[in-house]
Structures are given as structure tokens and as C-alpha cells.
Amino acid sequence: MYTIHSNKIHNKWDNSLSPVLSIKSGDVVTVESREASDGQVTPSSFPSDLLKLDFSRIHPLTGPIEVEGAEPGDALEIEFLDFSTKGWGWTGVLPGFGFLANDPYTTPIDLAGPALKIWKVEKEAVARFGDIEVRVPPRPFPGVIGTALPTPGRFSTIPPRENGGNMDIKHLTRGTKLYLPVFVKGALLSLGDTHVAQGDGEVCGTAIEAPMDVIIKVTLHKNAGIAQPLFETGAVRDGDFKEYLAYPGMDPNLWEAAKKAIKGIIGILSSHMTPVEAYMLASAVVDLKVSQVVDVPNWIVTAYLPKDIFPEEVRPKLKVLR
């Protein structure tokens, strides 16, 4: 087994980077990952610290890893074997960033930030929202994982791309097998932006961001013929909670339908916490699901809020009707 320490980092896709480790197909690697801010947010940080972030340091990725024998047209199979968290994480709202940034809805309601929530992470991720202690089961995964791009140059890690990248898919967790296309010799695999937990959508722009160690098994498949990522997982149903409050957003525009769904959840939670706290909590736990796209003119995106994360005495109070 190999270990790559988190002092071997980069934060741009660049296929000219030299590998920090060379492995063979079938090798197991422990990858140390920093949290998304590269140490600029700590357990003692305040919301105002988000205004001082150096965005050139965002998304420190550990790597790249060279896979011997990998050539363009091949694919890497990345099996996620285990994750080890470091005791803390954070969720924040950065001004100008997030699903509802610059939305008219934010004008009368303080969702613009800066706002910050520090989580204690042990068996559960625990933080206080308003007067409620919320407990979220850890379901760790890397927000960013990818091979080198085929095009020379330095490219932002923020958007997902054909190489994988910043996909923020919460099902890329323990037991999942991710397949990534190889575009350059050696593949040059990197990962980072590790999350303790996240809702499908990551609506405020951050999940529960946290440093952690990721153990992966890397297998090379020759002449695989894939042009973008795909994955196999059994974790979709395993990750379900037992009880939800769901808010369908309806609109002729899928983007606006999703916004309406999240705003509905924020409205419900705002009876128990500040709206910006509700926005952060939604980013960490609320799943957005496309419910239907055929009943024109309105599409439906439904936001599912798990009630299981709240104390039992609070759950009956989480309701639409007053």
C-alpha cells in the first residue's frame, strides 16, 4: 500500500504536471486530502474569515498519480475502500457563490453571507442550528476526483468536466467503483475537496467540507472506450433516511423549479433557525430530485429534508401547515 501526503498538492488541471507517485494496476493507495479552503478555514474560524479567502488556493488536490501502462483510450477504475475523517468540518456561505447567490429572493432575506457553521465530526457530524442540535451521519466522499485533461494548459477545478473533476456526487463513497477516461499517458489521477456529508445539490456552494484520508484501489482497463465518468454503486438506497419532509418546486424552467423547492425548505426551517442557517443545512442534507419532466409546461424538482437528523421532540414541529 502507498500513501500520498497532502503536501503534494495542486489546484489546477494541468497535464504537464509531474506525478508525485507511480503505481501499477491493482495497487491500493491512501490519499491524504486537505479541506477545500486549503487550511484557510479552521475549527476556530469566524464567518468574517470567509471574506479573506484567497480563492487561488481553493480545491487543493493531492496528486497527480501516474498509473503505469495507462494510455489515451483506457480507463481507470477507482474503488473507494475507506475514509478517515479528522474530527471536524465546515459549511459556509460565501458572498456571490451558491445556488441562490444574487437571486431576488435573497434581497429581503439574509442568505448572502458570509455565514459559517463548524461541525464536530466523530460517529456523527454535529452542529447547532438555531437552538437545535443537528446530527448527520457521515457519508464521506471526494468532491473532486479526476484524470488529466487532454488539452494542454491550466484549467479551473470548479466545473466538472469530461475527466471527472468537481462532480460533487455524494454516492462516490465507500464501496463505489468510479470509472474515469484516460486522456494522457499515465492518466495522472488527483483527488481532493473531501466532504463528510452533502445533500444532492450542495445548494449553498459548500457541503460539510473536511480534511480526511481516502483509501482507493486503482485498476487499469485497456481500450475501455469511455469519454466521460460513470460509476457503479449500491449506496443509493443504503443512504436513505427513514423520514422526510418534501417540498416540490414547480416551474416551466428546471432551474427555477429547483430554486422554488429549496426556498420552500428554507421557509419551513426558518421557523427554527435563521434563513442563512437553513440554507447551509439544506446544502449539507437536502436532496434535490427531478420528479418529472414530461407534464408540460411545468417540471417538478422536489427537495427532500430528512427529519432523522433532528431530535425526536423537534420532528413533529417541522411541518408546512401551522
- Segment 255-273, tens digit of pLDDT: 999 999 999 999 999 999 9
Residue 303 has pLDDT above 70, yes or no: yes
pLDDT band at 2 (very low <50, low <70, confident <90, very high): confident
Average pLDDT over residues 305-313: 95
**Residues whose CB is less than 8 angstroms from the CB of residue 233 and which lie 6 or more positions away in sequence, other chains included:** 171, 172, 173, 175, 176, 177
pLDDT in tens, 16-64: 999 999 999 999 999 999 999 999 999 999 999 999 999 999 999 999 9
Is the pTM here over 0.85, yes or no?
yes
pLDDT in tens, 129-180: 999 999 999 999 999 999 999 999 999 999 999 999 999 999 999 999 999 9
Q: What is the pLDDT of residue 108?
A: 60
Average pLDDT over residues 244-248: 95
Grid coordinates 508525485 are at which residue?
20
pLDDT band at 240 (very low <50, low <70, confident <90, very high): confident
Q: What is the pLDDT of residue 195?
A: 98
HSE-CB for 102 with a 13 A CA cutoff:
2
How many CB atoms are located within 10 Å of the residue 229 CB?
24
Residue 288 has pLDDT above 70, yes or no: yes
H or E element: which one contains 156? Answer: none
Instruction: State the DSSP string of 209-259.
Output: B--EEEEEEEEEETT---SS-EEE-SHHHHT--S-EEEEEEEESSHHHHHH
Do 209 and 59 touch, CB atoms closer than 8 A? no
Q: What is the pLDDT of residue 3?
A: 85
Mean pLDDT lowest among 224-238, 278-292, 295-309: 224-238
pLDDT over 90 percentage in the chain? 89
Question: Could you tell me whether strands 61-67 and 21-23 are parallel, antiparallel, or unpaired per DSSP bridges?
Answer: parallel
